Structure 1
Amino acid sequence: MKLFTTDLSPNCRRVEATLHHLGLYDEVDVIRLNLATGEHQRDDLRAANPNGKVPTVVVGDMSLWESNPTMIYLADKAGAEDFCPSDAKTRFEILRWMSWELQHYNRALGDILWETIAKAKFGMGAPDQEIIAKQMDNFHRFAAVLDAQLEGRDYILGDTVTVVDFAVGGPSALALHPASQVPLDAYPNVKAWYLRLEALPAWAATAPKILSEAA
């Protein structure tokens, strides 16, 4: 198995964390790319993923790209029923929350984190406060939904961590960073869940360096 990945990416982190959680990471040839210098243009990545994006996983003659279906495939391949249940009702819940995070919660959060953290990391100038303000409204709208879902639960679907937590929680380290401007104190269930994720062995093993810089 081969994994094309990069640092700081929430999408890459959740796939790497899934591999750790499933006990598969040591079986993977990890190719860590520096996107700032154009390493994602390399021919073998383009052959596996015509979008030239990471994470991309190559399993035999299969190329897996887009992090959410990649995590589901890996979990199903490993028979990790607790992590990614296959019964119709729970699988629907998994797919629904994955769609929700892509279209709503992490879409708003991602724009905020790009402006407040990633731009500085890549030397792309100061945060655009107008973009932050616009997406902050969306963040508040959808963070309230997540906070309500987590009321009385350790994880999104209950008391056990599942692939949904890895999908929705991908940006946790960046959202917790003091420079992020993300108002997590207004959503105590979300903040506690992020911290719970960060304490998981598979999540801790994939923590970006920027997290330690915030400590």
Structure 2
Amino acid sequence: MKLYTADISPNCRRVEAVLHHLDLYDEVDVCRLNLLAGEHMSSDLSASNPNVKVPTIVMGDMNLWEANPTMIYLCDRAGAEGFCPTDPKSRFEILRWMSWEAQHYNRAIAEITWETMVKPLFGMGEPDEAKIESAGHNFHRFAAVLNSHLEGRSYMLGDSVTATDFAVGAYSALASNPLSRVPLDDYANVTAWYQRLEAVPGWAATAPIRLMEAAE
């Protein structure tokens, strides 16, 4: 199994965390690419993913790309029923929250953190305050939904961590970083859940160290 991945990327983090959580990481040939240097445009990656994006996993005659379905495939292949349940009701919940985070919640966080963290970190210009403000409105709308859902729950589906947490929580370290300017202060349940998630061993093993150091 070969994994094309990159530092800092929340999409790569969620897939790498699943591999750690399922004790599969030692079986993976990891190809860590420098996106800014254009290494992702290599012919090897383009042959496996026509989008030339990471994460991408090459597994025999299968090429796995797009983070959320890759996570589900890995879990089902490993028989990780507790971490990614297959009963129809639970699977619907997983797919619903994965769709929600990609289209709404994490999309807003991505727009904020791109302006406040990624651009300055890599010398790509000053943050666009108008874009930050616009994304902030969307963040508040969907963070309220998540905060309400987490009331009385330790994790997204109950008392145990699941693949749903790795998907919805993909930006946990970035959003919690003081430099991000993601307005988490009004969402105590989300903040507490992020802290629980960061303590999960598989998730902790994939923390974006460079960005955490940048906040110190």
| TM-score past 0.5 threshold | yes
**What residue identity is the alignment partner of 2:195?**
L
SS of 2:57's partner is: strand
**d(CA) in 2 for partners of 1:75 and 1:212?**
31
For structure 2, the 5+ residue unaligned runs are: none
Alpha-carbon offset, residue 159 of structure 1? 0.5
SS of 1:23's partner is: coil
Question: What is the match of residue 27 of structure 1?
Answer: 27
SS of 1:37's partner is: coil
Question: What is the match of residue 116 of structure 1?
Answer: 116
After superposition, what is the alpha-carbon deviation per residue over 1:75-94, rounded to whole angstroms, capped at 9, x for unaligned? 00000000000000100000
Alpha-carbon offset, residue 183 of structure 1? 1.4
**What residue identity is the alignment partner of 1:93?**
E
Question: What is the match of residue 163 of structure 1?
Answer: 163
Aligned-residue sequence identity (percent) comes to: 68
**d(CA) in 2 for partners of 1:201 and 1:213?**
22
SS of 2:185's partner is: helix
**What residue identity is the alignment partner of 2:143?**
A
For structure 1, the 5+ residue unaligned runs are: none
**d(CA) in 2 for partners of 1:85 and 1:34?**
34
Please show how residues 130-149 of structure 1 align to structure 2 within 5 Å. 130-149=130-149
Alpha-carbon offset, residue 212 of structure 1? 3.5
After superposition, what is the alpha-carbon deviation per residue over 1:39-82, rounded to whole angstroms, capped at 9, x for unaligned? 00111100000100000011111000000000000000000000
Alpha-carbon offset, residue 151 of structure 1? 0.4
**d(CA) in 2 for partners of 1:106 and 1:177?**
15
Say what the alpha-carbon RMSD is for the aligned residues: 0.7
**d(CA) in 1 for partners of 2:181 and 2:214?**
16
Question: What is the match of residue 85 of structure 1?
Answer: 85
Question: What is the match of residue 151 of structure 1?
Answer: 151
Alpha-carbon offset, residue 211 of structure 1? 1.7
**d(CA) in 2 for partners of 1:26 and 1:3?**
11
**d(CA) in 2 for partners of 1:25 and 1:57?**
12
SS of 1:36's partner is: coil
SS of 1:8's partner is: coil
Please list every run of at least 4 consecutive aligned residues from structure 1 whose deviation after the TM superposition is greater than 2 angstroms: 212-215
**d(CA) in 1 for partners of 2:71 and 2:214?**
28
Q: Normalization by structure 1: what TM-score?
A: 0.98
Alpha-carbon offset, residue 185 of structure 1? 1.5
After superposition, what is the alpha-carbon deviation per residue over 1:129-153, rounded to whole angstroms, capped at 9, x for unaligned? 1000001000000000000010011
Alpha-carbon offset, residue 120 of structure 1? 0.9
**What residue identity is the alignment partner of 2:15?**
V
Does the CA-based 8 Å contact 2:136-2:183 persist in structure 1?
no
Alpha-carbon offset, residue 214 of structure 1? 2.5
**What residue identity is the alignment partner of 1:82?**
G
**d(CA) in 1 for partners of 2:126 and 2:168?**
27
Of 191-200 and 65-74, more deviation after overlay is shown by 191-200
